[in-house]
Chain A
Amino acid sequence: MTTSATPPSRSVGNQQPPKVQRRDNVLTELYRSALGKKYLMAISGLVLMAYVLIHMIGNFKLFEGEASLNEYAIWLRELGEPLIPEYGAIWATRVILILAFGVHIIAAAQLTRMNQISRGRSRYAERHYAAVDFAGRTMRWTGVIVGLFVIYHLADLTWGVQAVNPEWEYLEVYNNVVASFANPVSAAVYIVANAALGVHLYHGAWSLFQSMGWNSPRFNHWRRWFAIGFALLIAVGNISMPVAVQLGLVG
């Protein structure tokens, strides 16, 4: 190996990492490291994945008709009563989701910034990538698409913003969903966003094992299949709903 002609720009030398400081607050120390941020990406991603799955399964009640979906909505609202007040479970979920989204997005933005610096300013004149796939390359974009879609989705069905869903009425869950999906523009938004989500999950659901260091020769080959299966399940499942309304099978 060569001797340093120029000292590395960010020198660490031989100093020992400050152990005392680490004992002071291990979690902040951990978050400061890129790997700590990767763990948070993985865990918040896992939380969001669990939510997306449960959310989709619940929403399949759309196929059972108006009464079924609306009853499910009331059940969610009253979940845990009388121990938990009305809307308690829903708000608890919302808080968890906001935290998970926040962590996922902030860590992603910080890691992106760090990696742009580590990559350096000079670029290869020629570069043939051998392994990276479409999903891996587009994580930031599929992430942004899904993030923007979440805002649209909330405006459409949770907040009932007039400009987005003019027919929206409080508690008329089934009618609101059908009104949204019957609009071809809105249906297209759902389809595109969920396709992007599927692509995002294909890379993310595999990466999280790698980031957390959950690997073993016994199940390593299953990780790829899990990611493919999960991504397909979510994308196809979610897209089936606007498609069913568009085809007149529901509504």
Chain B
Amino acid sequence: MDLTLRIWRQPHHDAPGDFVRYQVTDVPREASFLEMLDLLNEQLMARNEEPVVFESDCREGICGTCGVMIDGRPHGPWQNTATCQLHMRAYRDGDEITVEPWRAAGFPVIKDLAVDRSAFDRIIEAGGYISTPTGAAPDANMIPVDKATADRAFEAAACIGCGACVAACPNGAAQLFAGAKVAQLNMLPQGQPERYQRATEVVDTMEAFFGSCTNHGECQAACPKDISVDVIAWLNRDYRKAKLSGARAS
């Protein structure tokens, strides 16, 4: 199929950007969205034009690198699907597709469709881990975790850090990402020793880059891993408890 792409081109962070229309021809229906962009870049390079910068790594929906805004929807029209898992059978010959980078103050554009998501790294550094003494791997199931809790922690752990939640949020907030990272660890026994410290550091770091939640639920709708806004309530609860127990201690 032949498509018209309306793609955001921006030479670097400080330069103004704008949309450029490209024709991409002979796109196979079985191609993924990223393969279609590869094809466009091959066709551009054949004409000696500069290829479009976009990011990808795993191309199997697990690394979170590839997110872009497609026709006004983070990761495009398919529910619970990362951009690399979106396939061109979603489109018909002659369609025009608008592709934009994530837009939020916390995600400055690096070039074209690539944005700087290092603020997420700062959040992970602040509390997206547990401190454990190293040594031999512990036996599986040595610490009992009930099934319901394990399932909920696993759902939160499915977050791939793609940034679709921030991109979808009218406030440029990262509550779903931060909530998923905190809930995943704070629900489990292994996360308990650093539980409240984690909530505090993650929220304080998050707020240095991102906005705050107004409970619209756009993040949940955009999430390719179907993470629920329940994790935001977790985050809010643990932060409240951390601060108020701090208040009592002083």
Please tell me which one of the listed residues A12, A23, A126 contacts residue B209 in the complex, with CB atoms under 8 A apart.
A12
Q: Which of B44-52, B188-196, B212-220 contacts A (4 or more CB under 8 A)?
A: B212-220
A117 contacts partner chain B, Cβ-Cβ < 8 Å: yes
A94 contacts partner chain B, Cβ-Cβ < 8 Å: no
Tally of chain A residues near chain B (CB < 8 A): 63
Instruction: Classify the secondary structure of B's interface with A.
Output: mixed
Residues of B within 8 A of A (CB): 6, 8, 12-14, 17, 19, 55, 64-65, 69, 71-73, 98, 100, 103-111, 114-122, 125, 148, 152, 161, 168-173, 200-201, 203-205, 207-218, 220-222, 229-230, 232-240, 243-244, 246-247, 249-250
Q: Is the CB of B237 within 8 A of A215?
A: yes
Task: Kindly state the separation between the CA atoms of A8 and B218 in the bound complex, as whole angstroms.
Answer: 24
A125 contacts partner chain B, Cβ-Cβ < 8 Å: yes
A27 contacts partner chain B, Cβ-Cβ < 8 Å: yes
Q: Given A12-B208, A115-B211, 19 other A-B contacts at CB below 8 A? A: A2-B55, A4-B118, A5-B13, A6-B108, A8-B108, A14-B125, A16-B201, A24-B250, A26-B247, A115-B214, A117-B211, A119-B104, A119-B211, A120-B107, A124-B72, A127-B72, A132-B216, A210-B213, A220-B230
Q: Is the CB of A213 within 8 A of B234?
A: yes
Q: Considering the complex, which residues of chain A in the window 1-32 have a beta carbon less than 8 Å from any beta carbon of chain B? A: 1-6, 8-14, 16-17, 22-24, 26-27, 29-30
Q: Which of A34-42, A74-82, A176-184 contacts B (4 or more CB under 8 A)?
A: A34-42
Q: How far is the CB of A227 from chain B (nearest CB, A)?
A: 11
Residues of A within 8 A of B (CB): 1-6, 8-14, 16-17, 22-24, 26-27, 29-30, 33-39, 111, 114-115, 117-132, 136-137, 139, 203, 206-207, 209-215, 217, 220
Task: Kindly state the separation between the CA atoms of A84 and B207 in the bound complex, as whole angstroms.
Answer: 45
Task: Kindly state the separation between the CA atoms of A118 and B206 in the bound complex, as whole angstroms.
Answer: 11
Number of A-B contacts (CB under 8 A): 200
Task: Kindly state the separation between the CA atoms of A230 and B69 in the bound complex, as whole angstroms.
Answer: 37
Name 9 A/B residue pairs within 8 A (Cβ), A-sorted.
A1-B118, A3-B118, A5-B12, A22-B246, A23-B246, A35-B239, A119-B104, A210-B236, A213-B236
Q: Is the CB of A27 within 8 A of B118?
A: no
Q: What residues on B are CB-neighbors of A127 within 8 Å?
A: 69, 72
Please tell me which one of the listed residues B106, B170, B210, B237 contacts residue A213 in the complex, with CB atoms under 8 A apart.
B237
Q: Is the CB of A2 within 8 A of B114?
A: yes
Once A34-B212, A122-B103, A129-B218 are accepted as A-B contacts, the answer to whether A12 and B118 lie under 8 Å apart by CB is no
Q: What residues on A are CB-neighbors of B8 within 8 Å?
A: 125
Task: Kindly state the separation between the CA atoms of A119 and B148 in the bound complex, as whole angstroms.
Answer: 36
Once A1-B118, A130-B218, A210-B215 are accepted as A-B contacts, the answer to whether A215 and B110 lie under 8 Å apart by CB is no
Once A12-B209, A26-B246, A211-B215 are accepted as A-B contacts, the answer to whether A130 and B171 lie under 8 Å apart by CB is no
* A22 and chain B: residue at smallest CB distance: B246
Q: Is the CB of B215 within 8 A of A213?
A: no
Q: What residues on A are CB-neighbors of B107 within 8 Å?
A: 120
* B201 and chain A: residue at smallest CB distance: A17
